Amino acid sequence: MSTPVSSPRAIVWQRRRAAVAKIWREFASNKGGLIGLGFLAVIVVLAVLAPVITDESGLDVTKATGGPLRPPSGEFPLGTDVDGRSVLLMTFWGARVSLLVGFSATVLSVLIGTVIGVAAAHFGGWLSALLLRFTDFFLVLPSLVLAIALSAVLPQGISTIILAVGITSWPTTARLVRAQTLTIESLPYIERSKALGGGHLHIVGKHVLPGVMPLVLANTTLVVGNSIIAESTLSFLGVGDPTEVSWGSMLSTALTTGAVTRGAWWYLLPPGLAIVVIVLSFTLVGRALETVLNPRLRGEHS
C-alpha cells in the first residue's frame, strides 16, 4: 500500500482491491465458511447448467418413462415419483426454483430493509418514529400467514412467492441497518463531513452506506437461507406455482400421493436433504462473513 500513485482513481481502486483481498484471506481461514462456499458453488453451477446436462422433457408427466414409485435403480439413481419421473432430475430442477426465489426475495428484502433502516437512522424525528412503527408492524405480523394471504390474493406463480417472502423478511434487516447507521453517524468523521459542507446524499453515499454494506452483505447470506425455507414451506402448503417443480412442491406431492405410507423414502429424502444442505451452506458462509466483517463477534482468543 505504500507505493506512490498519482491518479486519484488508481488510489481508490488500489484501496478497494486491498480491502477485498484482506477479507478473502480472513474468510479463507474459516473452515466452515469455506466448506459452505464450496457446496454453494457446486449447487449454483449445477442449477445453472441443468438445461445443458439434463433433458427437460423428463419433467413432463406425459412423457415419463419409469413406473410409479420405483426404488433407486441403474436407470433412475434416486428412483421415480408417482408419475414415473426421475427424482434425481426433479431435484436438479427444483434447485433452480429454490435459488431463484431465494436470491430474488433476498434482494427485495435487503433493498427495502436498507432503505428504511438508513432513512430511519439518518433523518430521525417523526420520520424515524413512523418508519420504526411501520417496521414493528411487519415484525410482529406472522409472516407465514401474510405470505399465504398474499399468495391467495395475487395470481399464483413464482413472482408472488418472491414478493410474499421479500416483504415479510425485511424488518430484521431494517433494524440491523438502522443500528449500524446510528453507530456510524455518531462518529466524528460524519461531523467533519458536515462541516465540509456535505449534504444528506453525500454523507449517506460516501460514509454511511460503505460502512453499512459489509454487515448487510453478511446478513444477506443468512436471509437467502431463510427465504429458501420460506419458499419450500409455501410450496409445500400448495400456494406455489403448480407447473414448476420445486423442493417444497415435491415434498407436498410425496405427502398427498401416499409416498410416505408406501415407504418411498427415495422420494422424500432428496428434496429434504437438498433444503438442509443449501440452507446450512448459506448459514455457514453468512456466519463466517459476519465474523470477518464484524470483529466484535470474534472470540478473544481467535
Partner 1 sequence: MTETTGAAAKTPLLRLKDLDVTYSTGGGDVAAVRKVNLSLAAGDTLGVAGESGSGKSTVAMSVLRLLPRSAKVSGEILLDGEDVTTMKWGRLRAVRWGEASVVFQGAMHALNPVRKIGEQIAEPIRVHAEAGKVPPDAEVRARVAELLEQVDLPKSRAGAYPHELSGGQKQRVMIAMALACRPRLIIADEPTTALDVIVQAQVLDLLSALVAEHSIGLIMISHDLSVLASTCARIAVMYDGEVVEERPSAELMSAPRHPHSQALAAAFPTVGDPVSRYAPATATPLPPEPERAVEPGRAPLLSAEDLRVTFRDRNGAKINAVAGVDLDVRHDEIVALVGQSGSGKTTLARTLLGLQKPTSGIVRYDGNPVPMSGAGLKAYRRHVQLVLQDPSSALNPRHTVYEAVAEGPRIHGLEENELAIVTKALESAELRPAEKYFSRLPHELSGGQRQRVVIAGALALEPGMLVADEPVASLDASVRGEILALLLRLRRELGLAALVITHDLGLAWNIADRVAVMYRGELVEVGTVEEVLLDPQHEYTKSLLAALPGGTSVRTAVDR
Which residues of this protein are in contact with partner 1, per CB under 8 A?
1-6, 8, 11-12, 14-15, 19, 187-189, 191-199, 202, 206-207, 210-211
Rounded Cα distance between 77 and 255, Å, is 21
Q: Is 137 or 189 the residue whose CB approaches partner 1 more closely? A: 189
Nearer to partner 1, 140 or 195 (CB): 195
C-beta of 13: minimal distance to partner 1 in Å?
10
Tell me whether residue 18 or residue 48 sits nearer to partner 1 (CB atom): 18
Closer to partner 1 by CB, 63 or 200: give it.
Answer: 200
Beta-ladder partners of 86: 80
Residue 80's DSSP bridge partners are: 86
Residue 15 makes CB contacts below 8 A (sequence gap 6+) with: 1
Question: Which one, 53 or 300, has the nearer CB to partner 1?
Answer: 300
Measured from the CB of residue 16, what is the shortest distance to partner 1 in angstroms? 9
Neighbours of 31 (CB within 10 A): 10
**Measured from the CB of residue 298, what is the shortest distance to partner 1 in angstroms?**
15
Cα dihedral sign for 75, 80, 85, 91? negative
For 109, 178, 192, 197, 296, the CA distances from 182, given in Å and listed in that order, are: 20, 6, 16, 20, 17
Residues 169, 110: contact at Cβ < 8 Å? no
**Closest approach of Cβ 197 to partner 1, in Å?**
4
Chain-centroid distance, C-alpha 121: 25
**How far is CA 76 from its chain centroid?**
31
Least distance to partner 1, CB of residue 190, Å: 9
Q: How near is the Cβ of 29 to partner 1 at its closest, in Å?
A: 13
When the beta carbons of 50 and 213 are compared against partner 1, the nearer one is 213
